[in-house]
Amino acid sequence: MPATNENTKSQIKSRQRVAQHGEVFTNPREVNAMLDLVRDESFRLDSRFLEPACGDGNFLIEILRRKLSLLSSVKSSTEWEFKSLIAVGSCYGIELLEDNAEACRDRLYRKVVGQMTRIGDLGDYGKSLRYMLQKNIVCGDALTYRTADGKPITFCEWTPIAGSMQFARRDFQFDFLVNQTHQYSLFDEQGEAQSFDEPVRSYPPLHYTQLYKYGD
C-alpha cells in the first residue's frame, strides 16, 4: 500500500464507510495525548496493550514507536530482533474490517523494519514477525468476541524466556479474559502469568526466529 504521512492522515476513508461502520480514525495528536496519560506504561517494552477497535493502527503504531525507541542503544542485531518481538508481542488489536486489519499489520511490520540497521532478506526473523502480527491483530468483533468467520477470538500470550532468546506461547479466548472480575495475565500490569489463568492451549517454547513454525 502507498506510504502514509502519519501526521496528516485523514480521519475518514469515505462517507459510505462512516455510514455503514461508523469508521472514523483518531488523529495522531489525540492518540499521543491519550497515551501520555499512561506514559510510563507506553514506554515499557513488555507492557501489554489491546485496542478493541484498532482500525488500521493509529494507536498501536504510536505504542510500538514508543517501545522501539527503547532499543536505540542496543548494538547486537540478535538482541534487537528479540527485544523488538517483545514489543510487537505486547501489542494487540481487534478490527471489524479485514482491509483495516491487514493495513494495521502492514504498518506495524514496516515500523519495525524501518527501525532496523540490517538490510536485505530478513529470513526467519521476518517470517516470525509477520506471524506474530497475524496472531495479534485479529479481524473480528470485540462486542461479540467472534472473528469474522464466527470463531471465538483467541489471543496469544508471548512470554520471553530470559537468557534463552525463546518465547513461550499460551492461547486465551478473549471472552474469558474480559468476562472475569479480576485481571488475567494478558493485561497484568506486571506482565506476569498468574496461577489462576486457564489457557485454551499451551505450546513448547521456540527460538524467536522460529515462531512462525507454530503454524496455526
In this predicted structure, what is the pLDDT of residue 26? 64
In this predicted structure, what is the pLDDT of residue 164? 93
Least confident of 22-31, 40-49, 129-138: 22-31
Torsion-angle region of residue 98: left (phi > 0), alpha (psi -120 to 50) or beta? alpha
In this structure, are residues 136 and 88 in contact, taking their beta carbons and an 8 Å threshold?
yes
Q: How confident is the model at residue 104 (pLDDT cuts 50, 70, 90)?
A: very high
Taking alpha carbons only, the member of 95, 102, 129 closest to residue 114 is 129
In this predicted structure, what is the pLDDT of residue 44? 95
Percent helix, strand and coil across the chain, each to the nearest 5: 45, 20, 40
The radius of gyration of the chain from alpha carbons, rounded to an integer in Å, stands at 17
Distance, in Å, from the CA atom of 98 to the CA atom of 139, rounded to the nearest integer, reads: 6
Check residues 75 and 21 and name the one with the higher pLDDT.
75
Number of Cβ within 10 Å of residue 132's Cβ equals: 25
Taking alpha carbons only, the member of 49, 87, 57 closest to residue 70 is 87
The percent of residues in the chain predicted with pLDDT above 70, rounded, is 78
